[in-house]
C-alpha cells in the first residue's frame, strides 16, 4: 500500500500546472528532436540542460525525462517517412516501417509505432514502480562475461536477418565489426585501422554516420535506380476512420512484437551501459524468430515495427533504474541526467528513495503522464507526417539528401563524416545490387563497441580461459542459447537441401 500511496502522490506532483506544462513541452520538443536524423535524445537533453536551472529540481528532471520519452517516440517518424533512423534506437524500425510507407501504409506504421511505444513505456514503468530495488541488484550482478553473453545472444538473434544466404549474412556482420573496430583500441589505447593515417578515423566510425549513409543516401540511390527517374509518390490516404482502422490492425498484427519488445527492452535497458539500442535489435530478432510468418519481416510487417518501438521505449524507462538506485547511468542520455542531478545537489544511489522521496516518486509519476502525453501528441501529428509522403520522389529525394548531410554534420560537425556518409551510401547501393543484406552490418557496428571490450575484459579476468562464459551462472545459459541460435539457420538450410536432394 505504501507504494500505491507514494505513486499517487508522485502522479499528483506531475499533474501540477508547471510540471504538466513542462511534460507537454518536453514531449513535443523530444518528438521533433527524435525525428531529426543526427540529433537524438542525447543531444536534445544536453542542449536543453541549462534551461532546467530556471525551475526547481523536481520540475527540471521531469522536463528532461519528457524530452527523452518524446525522442524515443520520434525516432520512428524519420525511419518510416524517409527511411533514415533518427537515432540508433530506431534503426530496426526502418526494416519494416519504410516498406510499409512505400506501400502507402505509412499511417499503419506510425500508428503501430505509437501504440507499441505506449505499451512498452507503460509496462516498463509498472515494472519500475513495483520491482526497482530487486531489479537494480540483479543488474549489478552483470559483469563483463554476462554483458558479452548478452551481446552474443543479440548477434544470434539477427543472424537470420539476411535470409537464407548464411555466407553473405556472416560477411555483412564481419564487415560491421571491422568498421566498429576503427579508431583507438579501448584496452591498449593504440590506434588501429586508421586508413592513410587520416585524423578523422582516430575518432572511429560513428553509428549515425553509417546509418544515415546506408538508409538515407543508399536508399535514395536505390529508389532512383528502381524508378529510372520516373515521378513517383507513395500516395498515402489519411482519414480519421482510416486511423481507427489502422489502430485496430496494429493491435491485431502487432501485439506479439509489442509484448516481446516491452519485456526484452526493459531488462536490457536496466543493464548499466547497455541502453535501448541493443534491446530494440534483440527484440526485432526474437520477434522474427518466434513469428509464424517470418518471411513478412523486412517487407512491411506491423509486428516488425511494434517490437523495436516497444523495446526502445521500455528500455528508456529501464535505463533510469540503475541511474536512480545505483548512481550508474544505463544509457548515454541517463548519463547526462545523472550529471544534472549532481548539479542540482541530489545524490543518486540507494538512499535517494529514502532521502528524496518526493523527487523520486514525482519522477516516476511523470513517466505515466509523459507516456500518455507522448501517445496523444504523436497520434495528433501523424496526419502531418503522412502528408510529407505525398510529395513526389523528385522533390523528396533532394530533401532526403539535404537532411542526411545536415544530420551527419550536426552529430559531429566534421566534414570527414560527411564524406563517409556519401561513401557508405554508394557502398550500400552496390551491396544491395549484389543481394548482400545491410541490416547485419549496421547492427554489428552498434553492438561491436560493447561486445569487444567485454570479451577482452572477460578473458583478462579468466587468464584467457573461454570457459568463463559457460561456468558462470548467468553467462552460461545465455551463451549456450546464443550458440544454438547461431547454428539453427545452418541446420535448417542443411535439412532443406537434403529434402530437395531426396525429391
Identify the residue whose cell numbers are 551501459.
273
The answer to whether residues 266 and 315 touch, using CB atoms and an 8 Å cutoff, is yes
Contacts 24+ apart (CB under 8 A), 434-438: 435/165, 435/168, 436/162, 436/168, 436/171, 436/172, 437/161, 437/162, 437/163, 437/165, 437/168, 437/169, 437/172, 438/172, 438/214, 438/218
> What is the pLDDT at residue 231?
45
Q: How far apart are CA 165 and CA 493, in angstroms?
A: 9
394-453 pLDDT, tens digit each: 777 787 788 778 877 876 778 888 899 899 999 989 988 888 888 778 778 877 888 888
The answer to whether residues 98 and 301 touch, using CB atoms and an 8 Å cutoff, is no
119-172 pLDDT, tens digit each: 999 999 888 888 776 766 666 677 889 888 888 887 777 665 545 567 787 888
> What is the pLDDT at residue 228?
63
Return phi, psi of residue 183, to 5°.
120, -150
Q: Which residues contact 29 (CB under 8 A, 6 or more apart)?
A: 44, 48, 67, 70
Which H or E run includes 381?
A: helix 357-388
Domain assignment of residue 280, given as a range? 1-237+244-501
* Angle at the Cα of 298 from the Cα atoms of 293 and 302, rounded to 5 degrees: 65
* Angle at the Cα of 191 from the Cα atoms of 185 and 193, rounded to 5 degrees: 100
- What secondary structure letter does DSSP report for 215? I
* Angle at the Cα of 212 from the Cα atoms of 261 and 238, rounded to 5 degrees: 65
pTM, rounded to two decimals: 0.82
Q: Say how far residue 66 (Cα) sits from the centre of its chain.
A: 17
Separation of first and last alpha carbons in the chain: 66
Return phi, psi of residue 266, to 5°.
-65, -45
Q: Residues for the chain: how many in total? A: 503
Q: How far apart are CA 491 and CA 373, in angstroms?
A: 47
* Angle at the Cα of 218 from the Cα atoms of 170 and 286, rounded to 5 degrees: 45
- Of 205, 181, 203, 210, the C-alpha closest to 193 is 181
Return phi, psi of residue 448, to 5°.
-55, -50
Radius of gyration of the chain (CA): 22
Residues of the chain where predicted confidence (pLDDT) is lower than 70: 1, 37-40, 86, 133, 135-140, 158-165, 227-240, 272-275, 330, 350, 388-390, 393, 411, 503
- What secondary structure letter does DSSP report for 374? H
Task: List the grid coordinates of 477.
Answer: 545459459
Q: What CA–CA distances, in Å, run from 307 to 282, 394, 397, 435?
A: 9, 32, 28, 25
Identify the residue whose cell numbers are 586508413.
195
Q: How deeply is 419 buried, as exposed, middle or buried, from its count of CB atoms within 10 A (0-12, 13-18, 19+)?
A: middle
- Of 169, 174, 181, the C-alpha closest to 285 is 169
Q: At what angle do helices 439-461 and 91-102 cross, to 10 degrees?
A: 170
Q: How far apart are CA 407 and CA 245, in angstroms?
A: 34
- Of 199, 402, 159, 171, the C-alpha closest to 286 is 159
Q: How far apart are CA 89 and CA 110, in angstroms?
A: 16
**Overall domain count for the chain:** 1
| Burial 9-38, CB ≥16 within 10 A → b, else e | ebbebbeeeebeebbbbbbbbbbbbbbbbb
Task: List the grid coordinates of 148.
Answer: 558479452
The answer to whether residues 80 and 110 touch, using CB atoms and an 8 Å cutoff, is yes
> What is the pLDDT at residue 216?
78
Q: Which residues contact 180 (CB under 8 A, 6 or more apart)?
A: 204, 205, 444, 445, 446, 447, 448, 449, 452
Amino acid at each position: 500500500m505504501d507504494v500505491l500511496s507514494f505513486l499517487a502522490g508522485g502522479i499528483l506532483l506531475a499533474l501540477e500546472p508547471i510540471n504538466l506544462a513542462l511534460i507537454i513541452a518536453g514531449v513535443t520538443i523530444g518528438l521533433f528532436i527524435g525525428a531529426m536524423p543526427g540529433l537524438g535524445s542525447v543531444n536534445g537533453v544536453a542542449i536543453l540542460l541549462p534551461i532546467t536551472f530556471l525551475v526547481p529540481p523536481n520540475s527540471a528532471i521531469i522536463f528532461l525525462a519528457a524530452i527523452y520519452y518524446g525522442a524515443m517516440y520520434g525516432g520512428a517518424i524519420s525511419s518510416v517517412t524517409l527511411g533514415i533512423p533518427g537515432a540508433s534506437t530506431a534503426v530496426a524500425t526502418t526494416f519494416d516501417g519504410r516498406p510499409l510507407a512505400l506501400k502507402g501504409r505509412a499511417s499503419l506504421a506510425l500508428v503501430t509505432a505509437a501504440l507499441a511505444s505506449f505499451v512498452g513505456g507503460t509496462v516498463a514503468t509498472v515494472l519500475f514502480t513495483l520491482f526497482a530495488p530487486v531489479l537494480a541488484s540483479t543488474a549489478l550482478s552483470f559483469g563483463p562475461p554476462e554483458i558479452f553473453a548478452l551481446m552474443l545472444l543479440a548477434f544470434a538473434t539477427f543472424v537470420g536477418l539476411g535470409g537464407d544466404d548464411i555466407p553473405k549474412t556472416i560477411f555483412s556482420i564481419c564487415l560491421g565489426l571491422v568498421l566498429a573496430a576503427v579508431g583507438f583500441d579501448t584496452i591498449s589505447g593504440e590506434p588501429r585501422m586508421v586508413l592513410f593515417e587520416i585524423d578523422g578515423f582516430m575518432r572511429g566510425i560513428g553509428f549515425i554516420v553509417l546509418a544515415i549513409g546506408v538508409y538515407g543516401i543508399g536508399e535514395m540511390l536505390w529508389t532512383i535506380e528502381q524508378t529510372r527517374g520516373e515521378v513517383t509518390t507513395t500516395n498515402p490516404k489519411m482519414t480519421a476512420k482510416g486511423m481507427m482502422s489502422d489502430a485496430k490492425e496494429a493491435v491485431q498484427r502487432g501485439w506479439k512484437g509489442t509484448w516481446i519488445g516491452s519485456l526484452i527492452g526493459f531488462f536490457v535497458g536496466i543493464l548499466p551501459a547497455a541502453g535501448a539500442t541493443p534491446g530494440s535489435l534483440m527484440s526485432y530478432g526474437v520477434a522474427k524468430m518466434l513469428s509464424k510468418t517470418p518471411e513478412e519481416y523486412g517487407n512491411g510487417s506491423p509486428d516488425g515495427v511494434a517490437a523495436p518501438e516497444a523495446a526502445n521505449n521500455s528500455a528508456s524507462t529501464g535505463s533510469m533504474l540503475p541511474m536512480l538506485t545505483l548512481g550508474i547511468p544505463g544509457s548515454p542520455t541517463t548519463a547526462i541526467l545523472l550529471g544534472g542531478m549532481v548539479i542540482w545537489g541530489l545524490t543518486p544511489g540507494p538512499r535517494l528513495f529514502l532521502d528524496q522521496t518526493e523527487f523520486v516518486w514525482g519522477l516516476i509519476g511523470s513517466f505515466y503522464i509523459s507516456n500518455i502525453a507522448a501517445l496523444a501528441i504523436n497520434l495528433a501529428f501523424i496526419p502531418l507526417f503522412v502528408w510529407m509522403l505525398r510529395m513526389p520522389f523528385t522533390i523528396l529525394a533532394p530533401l532526403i539528401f539535404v537532411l542526411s548531410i545536415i544530420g551527419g554534420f550536426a552529430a559531429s560537425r566534421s566534414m570527414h563524416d560527411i564524406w563517409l556518409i556519401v561513401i557508405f551510401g554508394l557502398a550500400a547501393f552496390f551491396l544491395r545490387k549484389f543481394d548482400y543484406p545491410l541490416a547485419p552490418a549496421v547492427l554489428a557496428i552498434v553492438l561491436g563497441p560493447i561486445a569487444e571490450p567485454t570479451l577482452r575484459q572477460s578473458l583478462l579476468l579468466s587468464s584467457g580461459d573461454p570457459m568463463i562464459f559457460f561456468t558462470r551462472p548467468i553467462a552460461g545459459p545465455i551463451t549456450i542459447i546464443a550458440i544454438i541460435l547461431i547454428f539453427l539457420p545452418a541446420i535448417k538450410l542443411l535439412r532443406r537441401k537434403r529434402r530437395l536432394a531426396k525429391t
